[in-house]
Amino acid sequence: MTVLLHQLKFEQRVFWRSREAAVFIFIFPLLLYALLGSIYGDEIDGVPAADVLLAGLFGYGAANTAFGGLAITLVIRREAGILKRLRSTPLPPWTYLATVLLSTLMVFALQAVALLVLGSLAFDASMPANPLGFAGAIVLGVAAFAGLGVGAASLIRSAEGVSAVVNVIVLPMAFLSGSFGPTREFPVFLQAIADVLPLTYFIDIVYGVYLDGESLFADPKALGVLAAWGIAGLAVALKRFTWMPRER
Amino acid sequence: MSSAIAVRDLRKSYDGVEALRGISFEVTAGEVFGLLGPNGAGKTTAVEILEGYRNRDGGDASVLGYDPGDSPRAMRERIGVVLQHSEITPLLTVREAHLLFAGYYAKPRDVDEVLEVVGLMEKRDARVKTLSGGQKRRLDLGIALVGDPELVFLDEPTTGFDPAARRSAWEMILALRSLGKTILLTTHYLDEAQRLADRVAVIRAGRIIRLGTPAELIGDARSIEIRFLKNGEQVVIETKNPTQALNELTAEALATGYELEQLEVRRPTLEDVYLELVDEYDGDVE
Ligand SMILES: Nc1ncnc2c1ncn2[C@@H]1O[C@H](COP(=O)(O)OP(=O)(O)OP(=O)(O)O)[C@@H](O)[C@H]1O
Ligand SMILES: [Mg+2]
């Protein structure tokens, strides 16, 4: 436990010291929200646009932080031999992974708060109708996307390519799942793709707890699909994750 | 004396390439043991099997009484590691990196004392990514020592060191030895092995071709070399009886009144012996 807190402290220090990570992971969703919030009109389908977009960007933020950020961090650390070096210390591997997860959760929770503050100050967005459910959704989203992130990190081979690969996945997924605005007018086949993406369901869940004041467990199908993706990612990780750089 | 490391008939292949073809050796507690051998001989493979990084295909291995294949936490608590290639999170400062690793161990050493020992006190607040190659290596060394290990694995620890830094690394390794620590060292610097190692094993193509103290290895080898210039020509005499040979040479020189210019009497070094050994085995690798 003390080791976990010790590691978490350094994990956080390293995250905030890394300009690229802090900007790409933390600032970018806020920036997108500011942009989109100024473009869309007052309402989307009778709901305040600021609220709809906020729900969408919570989704994008979760995928970007927990899936994208985590995959990038792990691949870079693995290929540099940073993970390898840790492996021969007494630090238990699971403690390390748990710390990386917790650190990601802290970053995303802070980002969710920042989005709420920005929304309410700049666009008069609502506060969560079900705050506890909303907090639960954040934890759930981070868990599921982190599972996918570790899975992806196990499959991606090179540190040079990892950012590109991650963005090729995250950006289209966010777009199709409605992170950046309604998808109602998308062609049917794109909507069909969206129908299997975890982010679509995560945004549904966020929508429920944030706007409609529903319980976190109101939509079992959405929870099921999201969990299935997270578990699939974890299964890949359990089979393929390595601490050693690929080339050696 | 108990053995800190015991290896018997250790084997390892990578996709059909046999990197280790059955090596056996023991490292006594408190000993500095050197693994020598050309590039690709299998040194890193052997060391990383013992550190718990790689699985062996065959043979027995014991590290402080543990099976390194399981790499139990209790074993990791008691070993220190300098890998041939690894990195430390580049955004931390040197001192923070030491503190980070110190936090993993039950009884770590004082971080500032370690910084002093590896000569990084002046760089303690510099980010890791700003260090020079040799300074990074010192960081690796510091971090290997921060857990106060009783067994230290050093895979080419002084590569990239300037001559002064190498000397101080030697001092440090000898100081560790005098504290009773056991050290398994690989190096391409034969003078380093000769200076530090109580015993060395020369590996070539996955086999140990010679094992013994540096003195034994040199002793099995050739004679002493006497060199001088005669009329501008280099003369080399190899002899098992240097006293007699020198006596004859100088007597003749005195009698005929010429000077033995640039006279040198040289005992073969570990490097000479090593080069001969490796050469000798060059023919029968496959
Ligand atoms: N992960 C790996 N996959 C495939 N082959 C490997 C791997 N690691 C090492 N080898 C091969 O095994 C042999 C021994 O390599 P090893 O790294 O143990 O040599 P070494 O003695 O440490 O060499 P050097 O002095 O260059 O560090 C080499 O032929 C090398 O190419
Ligand atoms: Mg090597």
Ligand 2 centroid to residue B155 C-alpha, Å: 7
Q: What is the pLDDT of residue A247?
A: 62
Ligand 2 centroid to residue B207 C-alpha, Å: 15
Task: Please report, rounded to a whole number, the percentage of residues in chain A having pLDDT higher than 90.
Answer: 79
pLDDT at B282 over 80: no
Q: What is the pLDDT of residue B258?
A: 80
pLDDT tens, residue by residue, B103-136? 999 999 999 999 999 999 999 999 999 999 889 9
Cross-chain Cβ contact A81/B51 below 8 Å:
no
Task: Quote the pTM value.
Answer: 0.90
Mean pLDDT computed over A36-49:
83
> Which one of B71, B91, B103 has the shortest CB-CB distance to A14?
B91
pLDDT range class, residue B187, cuts 50, 70, 90: very high
pLDDT tens, residue by residue, A63-72? 999 999 999 9
Q: Is the CB of B56 under 6 A from ligand 1?
A: no
Between B70 and A46, residue with greater pLDDT: B70
Between A170 and B161, residue with greater pLDDT: A170
Least confident range of A19-23, A57-61, B66-70, B173-177 = A19-23
| Mean pLDDT, rounded, of chain B | 91
pLDDT at A232 over 90: yes
Q: Is the CB of B19 under 6 A from ligand 1?
A: yes
Cross-chain Cβ contact B89/A82 below 8 Å:
yes
Beta-strand pair B224-230/B151-155: unpaired
pLDDT at B161 over 60: yes
Q: Using CA coordinates, name the residue in chain A closest to B14.
A: A248
pLDDT at A248 over 90: no
pLDDT at A143 over 50: yes
The question of ipTM being above 0.90 is answered as yes
Measured between CA atoms, how close is B78 to chain A, in angstroms?
9
Q: Copy the structure tokens of residue A107.
A: 């970053």
Q: What is the pLDDT of residue B96?
A: 98
Cross-chain Cβ contact B105/A90 below 8 Å:
yes
Task: Say how far residue B223 (Cα) sits from the centre of its chain.
Answer: 25
Q: What is the pLDDT of residue B274?
A: 83
pLDDT at A137 over 70: yes
Q: What is the pLDDT of residue A41?
A: 76
pLDDT at B284 over 60: no
Domain ranges of chain B: 1-78+150-221+269-286, 88-145, 223-267
Mean pLDDT computed over B72-86:
96
Mean pLDDT computed over B6-22:
95
End-to-end CA distance of chain B: 37
pLDDT at B220 over 90: no
Q: What is the pLDDT of residue A226?
A: 96
Task: Please report, rounded to a whole number, the percentage of residues in chain A having pLDDT higher than 70.
Answer: 99
Q: Is the CB of A248 under 6 A from ligand 1?
A: yes
Measured between CA atoms, how close is B33 to chain A, in angstroms?
20
| Mean pLDDT, rounded, of chain A | 92
Q: Copy the structure tokens of residue A176.
A: 């199709």
Mean pLDDT computed over A198-206:
95
Q: What is the pLDDT of residue B283?
A: 55
Q: Is the CB of B34 under 6 A from ligand 1?
A: no
Atom 24, ligand 1: which residue's CA is nearest?
Answer: B39
Cross-chain Cβ contact A85/B51 below 8 Å:
no
CATH fit for domain B1-78+150-221+269-286, picks 3.30.300.30, 3.30.460.10, 3.40.50.20, 3.40.50.300? 3.40.50.300
pLDDT at B102 over 60: yes
Least confident range of A144-158, B131-145, B146-160, B270-284 = B270-284
Across A194-231, b (16+ Cβ under 10 Å) vs e yields beebbbbbbbbbbbbbbbeebebebbeebbebbbebbe
pLDDT range class, residue B221, cuts 50, 70, 90: low
Q: What is the pLDDT of residue B286?
A: 44
Cross-chain Cβ contact A89/B89 below 8 Å:
no
Tally C-beta pairs within 8 A across A and B.
65
Q: Is the CB of B37 under 6 A from ligand 1?
A: yes
Q: Using CA coordinates, name the residue in chain B closest to A14.
A: B91
Cross-chain Cβ contact A89/B71 below 8 Å:
no
Residue with tokens 């056996």: B24
For residue A234, which amino acid is it? L
Task: Please report, rounded to a whole number, the percentage of residues in chain B having pLDDT higher than 70.
Answer: 97
pLDDT range class, residue B234, cuts 50, 70, 90: confident
> Which one of B88, B92, B105 has the shortest CB-CB distance to A85?
B88
Mean pLDDT computed over B32-44:
95
pLDDT at B249 over 90: no
Three-class SS string for chain A?
Answer: CHHHHHHHHHHHHHHHHCHHHHHHHHHHHHHHHHHHHHHCCCEECCEEHHHHHHHHHHHHHHHHHHHHHHHHHHHHHHHHCHHHHHHCCCCCHHHHHHHHHHHHHHHHHHHHHHHHHHHHHHHCCCCCCCHHHHHHHHHHHHHHHHHHHHHHHHHCCCCCCHHHHHHHHHHHHHHHCCCCCCCCCCCHHHHHHHCCCHHHHHHHHHHHHHCCCCCCCCCHHHHHHHHHHHHHHHHHHHHHCCCCCCCC
Least confident range of A95-104, A187-196, B92-101 = A187-196
Angstrom distances, CA of residue B213 to CA of B42, B61, B188, B197 = 20, 22, 17, 8
Distance CA(B51)–CA(B79), nearest Å, equals 8
